Structure 1
Amino acid sequence: MALFIRDPEVDALAEEVRRLTKARTKTEAVRSALKAQLAEARRAQPLRKRLARSKALADAMGRGDPDFDMKAFTDSLWGDA
């Protein structure tokens, strides 16, 4: 899906971000700026809302296996070391 910048001010801002961040393209600069803005917006959400999202993700994974032995599993990753 394409994003066309038709506003000269937005185009100038994208070019300035590209130049200052040494991004190869405006697309790369816009991607980086949007990711940074999204991360900031997520951090600005109340802790309760962020924790609720994390809890929902954990709940979607289902219950853990109470018989799972993490020590044995970790040891098996080391092999015969």
Structure 2
Amino acid sequence: MPLYVRDETVNDLATQAQRLLKTKTKTEAIRIALERVVHRDTPPETLQERLKVFQDRFRALGEPVENFDEKAYLDEMWGNE
């Protein structure tokens, strides 16, 4: 859907944004500017939501191996017998 700018001030601002953002068109400059505003004003995720991502990844690793000898594993990995 086309966007028509009929306000000369808005047109001037779009031209300035195009120059500052070094875009080929004013439309691209407006898109970038609007994306920045939307991203900036979108409320951040809560700490609980961010932690859930890590918790889900951790659970996906599976159950821990019982009696795992980390030192022996690292020695073997480094070639220390």
After superposition, the CA RMSD in angstroms is 2.8
> For 1:9 and 1:34, how far apart are their aligned partners in 2?
17
Post-superposition, which runs of at least 4 consecutive aligned residues in structure 1 deviate over 3 A?
A: none
Taking structure 1 as the reference length, the TM-score comes to 0.55
Question: Which residue of structure 2 lines up, in the alignment, with residue 16 of structure 1?
Answer: 16
Q: Which runs of 5+ in 2 are unaligned?
A: 50-59, 63-81
Taking structure 2 as the reference length, the TM-score comes to 0.55
Question: Which residue of structure 2 lines up, in the alignment, with residue 27 of structure 1?
Answer: 27
Question: In the TM superposition, what is the alpha-carbon distance from 1:25 to its structure 2 partner?
Answer: 0.3
> Identity across aligned pairs (percent)?
36
Question: In the TM superposition, what is the alpha-carbon distance from 1:23 to its structure 2 partner?
Answer: 0.6
Indicate the structure (1 or 2) with the bigger Cα radius of gyration: 2
> For 1:15 and 1:70, how far apart are their aligned partners in 2?
51
> For 1:18 and 1:24, how far apart are their aligned partners in 2?
7
Task: Give the paired residue count.
Answer: 55
Letter in 2 for 1:2: P
- What secondary structure, in the 3-state scheme, does the structure 1 residue paired with 2:13 have? helix
